[in-house]
């Protein structure tokens, strides 16, 4: 039975990642524009963190759950990896048909906002799933001390902390991307913060759904870890890296040095996860 307190913790973690999107609007309180160079570095940092967290955290955790040979592990995790990729591919297809520009947020009526939120759910649901799955061992007895961390009076899985931080960092440049067109419309800074957070609101919902699923049917836990890892790695390859290169197209060498630097720092930050 899923304990309500655990669900609240997972929801708050997902909400924290959504609120982090609002940080992308904060620089506009002080500057008229954001440097493309720093935006590329942030995309690289988020990419490095998320790929490393997926490989060192989600996949490694999935392998640890499977008590068998490498073939057994591949059979248990592989379908999840494939399903995660399929989710992102389908999501991209749907978004390409119904793409919503941030300028429409400010101009939309209630019905339009509900539709927009539905579209955004397709976009940000995988990130929420990754957060929820990473909390799978929350509240379980027998979890080694080295795999938990005390935070704000709570004992949390280390993987969950890493993944929440990773998604939060990824959301900051997304918040910048949402805020730039709103800035051109003369939208106030605090409303830009709200719309940036609004764009990631489905994440806490996705986190709770994923957490509930993997705790309700623990035999599907390897599938859940694989699902989140597949979605994250594919998102980085098809969305984050291209977005970074698009932002850096006018920089020397297309912003690749900045992207590489961000990736390297992101991977370095996540390396300790491989030894937990």
Residue 142 pLDDT: 45
Residue 270 pLDDT: 75
Task: With a cut of 90, say whether residue 19 has pLDDT above it.
Answer: yes
In a domain, 32, yes or no: no
In a domain, 180, yes or no: yes
**Burial of 148 from C-beta contacts in 10 A (0-12 / 13-18 / 19+):** buried
In a domain, 221, yes or no: yes
CA distances from 42 to 233, 258, 270 (A): 17, 9, 15
In a domain, 154, yes or no: no
Cα angle at 230 between 100 and 127, to 5 degrees? 45
Q: Supply 175's token pair.
A: 């918040």
Query: What confidence category does residue 198 fall into, taking pLDDT thresholds of 50, 70 and 90?
Result: confident
In a domain, 41, yes or no: no
Query: What confidence category does residue 76 fall into, taking pLDDT thresholds of 50, 70 and 90?
Result: confident
Average pLDDT over residues 175-187: 78
In a domain, 204, yes or no: yes
The string of pLDDT tens digits covering residues 133-173 is: 888 777 554 454 456 666 666 777 777 887 888 788 878 87
Give the list of residues 6+ apart from residue 163 with CB closer than 8 angstroms, or none. Answer: 53, 57, 58, 130, 131, 134
- Split into its structural domains, the chain has a count of 1
Structural domain for 136, as ranges: 4-25+48-148+161-275
Task: With a cut of 80, say whether residue 57 has pLDDT above it.
Answer: no
In a domain, 33, yes or no: no
CB 204 within 8 A of CB 20: no
Phi/psi for 79 (5° steps) reads -60, -35
């Amino acid at each position: 039975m899923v304990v309500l307190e655990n669900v609240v913790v997972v929801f708050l973690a997902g909400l924290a990642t959504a609120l982090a999107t609002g940080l992308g609007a904060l620089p506009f309180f002080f500057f008229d524009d954001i440097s493309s160079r720093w935006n590329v570095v942030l995309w690289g940092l988020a990419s490095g963190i998320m790929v490393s967290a997926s490989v060192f955290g989600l996949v490694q955790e999935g392998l640890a759950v499977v008590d068998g040979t490498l073939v057994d592990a591949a059979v248990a995790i592989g379908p999840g990896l494939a399903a995660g990729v399929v989710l992102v591919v389908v999501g991209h297809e749907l978004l390409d048909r119904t793409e919503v520009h941030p300028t429409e947020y400010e101009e939309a009526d209630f019905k339009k906002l509900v539709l927009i939120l539905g579209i955004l759910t397709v976009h940000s649901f995988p990130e929420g799933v990754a957060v929820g799955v990473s909390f799978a061992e929350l509240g379980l007895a027998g979890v080694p001390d080295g795999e938990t961390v005390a935070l704000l009076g709570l004992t949390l899985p280390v993987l969950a902390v890493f993944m929440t931080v990773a998604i939060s960092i990824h959301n900051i440049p997304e918040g910048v991307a949402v805020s730039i067109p709103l800035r051109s419309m003369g939208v106030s800074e605090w409303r830009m913060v709200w719309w940036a957070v609004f764009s990631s609101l489905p994440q806490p919902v996705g986190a709770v759904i994923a957490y509930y699923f993997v705790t309700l049917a623990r035999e599907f836990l390897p599938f859940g870890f694989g699902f989140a890892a597949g979605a994250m790695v594919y998102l980085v390859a098809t969305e984050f890296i291209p977005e970074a290169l698009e932002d850096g197209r006018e920089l020397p060498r297309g912003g690749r040095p900045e992207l590489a630097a961000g990736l390297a720092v992101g991977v370095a930050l996540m390396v300790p996860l491989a030894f937990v």
